[in-house]
Amino acid sequence: MYYLICGILLMNYNSVQANPKSNSTEFLIGGDDDGDGLLNSWEINGLDINNDGNIDLDLPAMGSDPSHKDIFVEVDFMENHRPNQAALDEVITSFANSPSVNPDGNNGINLHINIDEQLPHEDNMNSDDLYEYKGLHLGNVVERADANRDNVINAREIATHYAIFGHTQPYSTSSGESPNMPGKEFMVTLGASKWGSDPATGHNVGSIDQQSGTFMHELGHNLGLDHGGWNDINCKPNYLSVMNYAYQMSSLLGNRTLDYSRSVLPLLNENNLNEVEGLGMSTPPNMISAYGPPPIKFTFTGIPVDWSRDDTTTDLGVHADINNIPSEGCLRSSGENLAGYNDWASLTFGDVSNGTGSTHSGAGQKEFTTEDLIGHRILLWESIKDLAYPVNPIYYNFSNPTEVQNYQLTNAILNDTYNNMTNLLVTSQLKNAINQTNELKELYKVTNDTKPIWYMDNMVTVLQKQI
Ligand SMILES: [Zn+2]
Ligand SMILES: [Zn+2]
């Protein structure tokens, strides 16, 4: 307790000392000291968009701080699709804990999410609809009825992002979309039948994990990030970011952190992989990453990796399509150079509504879909089978009827002849699939083989986060 109090006092002392600009009059009025795209004068006095001496958007009342980065997001939602506050809180926490540096000496970004209006339910919306909704619903009801309406809306257009939680996009189960990169608007569309459902209504709205991951992924596009950080090469094992389809949701790794990448991992040349160097070390250290081709494998950063899968980790010059983790965005593509990226150090803030942003989705490109989600379930199951089936008979005493039964049942679960796990996963019978995975794990413990057990535990966590 003594140390805790001392620590808090010390932290307060340091933060005061590290804040040479606590007096707001020292700010250069035209500048943007914290680099969040919001000018000092706006963050101190409010935004007067037409310079008539009247404040049109009171950013200080909304929580702006000229010495600490702020991002404002207005969220409207269709009926049944009010965002889960726990999901938004996860994103807010991730931004607060980010390594972004600020003039006040404290790292992090204050993400201000304002849940605004409920809109009528529409089954489909596309990017054009998103702009139309924004045109009609940016700002709140009071602001839009005000005589100063146009200036308020123009100020919001510059200072805030606009998002809609809707149902689905046309002809697609895509989880979301941000039409521009960087940009100012995005949508989260988790209404297709295999996204998680709201226990109160039964309506598909996305699980907490699916909502938080998609919100942060689409906001990341708004902040200038692509699926490979600076490029669109997806599913790179050395790019540990929510922007990567392997980590948008906890759909492969049950305990992946909801985060943008924090450091540049070393380049991986798929024609010349070095097993000793592996992925290099991550920030934070010892993160877990998935790599292909199927059956997919998991490894820590900072240790040698068996890219060639010959049970040694000393090979040099290995050829392997390691970002082949099949889903819509991660098709087979051998021989690539896979570069790491530091997302947090590279975010684009500020007014990007003037058309400088590049278009995100080219023709036919989709965001992470329910087909991808189910694909990931099957990939996890295939990896377990690859490691565990057939179960090694040396662990069983075949003169004991119970052990004979356990041996047969273990194999039957693993080869889908008992309860057909593959079918449970495809048809989203997730509670049954979790129960069966736990049963398999208990049966499999007799082998003392911890690696498949880890994969089974991971699959249970993954499936729990989809409910
Ligand atoms: Zn809906
Ligand atoms: Zn995306």
pLDDT band at 277 (very low <50, low <70, confident <90, very high): very high
Compute, in angstroms, the gap from residue 54 CA to the centroid of ligand 2.
39
Compute, in angstroms, the gap from residue 29 CA to the centroid of ligand 1.
45
Residue 284 CB: number of other CB atoms within 10 A? 12
The three-point CA angle 292-295-298 to 5° equals 60
- Check whether 20 has a pLDDT greater than 90: no
- Going by the DSSP 8-state scheme, the letter that residue 7 receives in this structure is H
Cα separation, 379 vs 365, whole angstroms: 22
Q: Are 316 and 325 in contact (CB under 8 A)?
A: no
Q: Any idea which residue has 């989705």 for tokens? A: 361
Whole-number CA gyration radius for the chain:
25
pLDDT 10s digits, 58-108: 999 999 999 999 999 999 999 999 999 999 999 999 999 999 999 999 999
Cα separation, 70 vs 64, whole angstroms: 6
Compute, in angstroms, the gap from residue 227 CA to the centroid of ligand 2.
6
Task: Give the residue-averaged pLDDT of 39-49.
Answer: 95
Compute, in angstroms, the gap from residue 120 CA to the centroid of ligand 2.
26
Compute, in angstroms, the gap from residue 249 CA to the centroid of ligand 2.
12
Position 364 scores a pLDDT of: 39
Cα–Cα distance list, 8 to 5, 12, 106 (Å)? 5, 6, 14
Compute, in angstroms, the gap from residue 369 CA to the centroid of ligand 1.
16
Tell me the HSE value of 449 on the side-chain side, using a 13 A CA sphere. Answer: 17
Cα separation, 65 vs 109, whole angstroms: 10
pLDDT 10s digits, 148-204: 999 999 999 999 999 999 999 999 999 999 999 999 999 999 999 999 999 999 999
pLDDT band at 353 (very low <50, low <70, confident <90, very high): very low
Compute, in angstroms, the gap from residue 164 CA to the centroid of ligand 1.
12
Q: Which residue stretches of 80-148 are H helix?
A: 85-96, 127-137, 141-145
Task: Give the residue-averaged pLDDT of 24-40.
Answer: 78
Position 352 scores a pLDDT of: 55
**If you average pLDDT over every residue of the chain, what do you get?**
91
Task: Point out the ligand nearest to the CA of residue 203.
Answer: 1
pLDDT band at 313 (very low <50, low <70, confident <90, very high): very high
Helix (H) or strand (E) holding 3: helix 2-17
Cα separation, 24 vs 302, whole angstroms: 44
Compute, in angstroms, the gap from residue 241 CA to the centroid of ligand 2.
11
pLDDT 10s digits, 244-276: 999 999 999 999 999 999 999 999 999 999 999
- Check whether 415 has a pLDDT greater than 90: yes
Tell me the HSE value of 192 on the side-chain side, using a 13 A CA sphere. Answer: 22
Q: 322 burial class (0-12, 13-18, 19+ CB within 10 angstroms)?
A: buried
Task: Point out the ligand nearest to the CA of residue 195.
Answer: 1
Cα separation, 11 vs 99, whole angstroms: 17
pLDDT band at 413 (very low <50, low <70, confident <90, very high): very high
Q: 342 burial class (0-12, 13-18, 19+ CB within 10 angstroms)?
A: middle
Compute, in angstroms, the gap from residue 138 CA to the centroid of ligand 1.
21
pLDDT band at 334 (very low <50, low <70, confident <90, very high): confident
Compute, in angstroms, the gap from residue 332 CA to the centroid of ligand 2.
18
Sorted by sequence, the CB contacts under 8 Å of residue 192 that are 6+ apart come out as 168, 173, 204, 369, 370
Compute, in angstroms, the gap from residue 79 CA to the centroid of ligand 2.
24
Record the pTM. 0.92
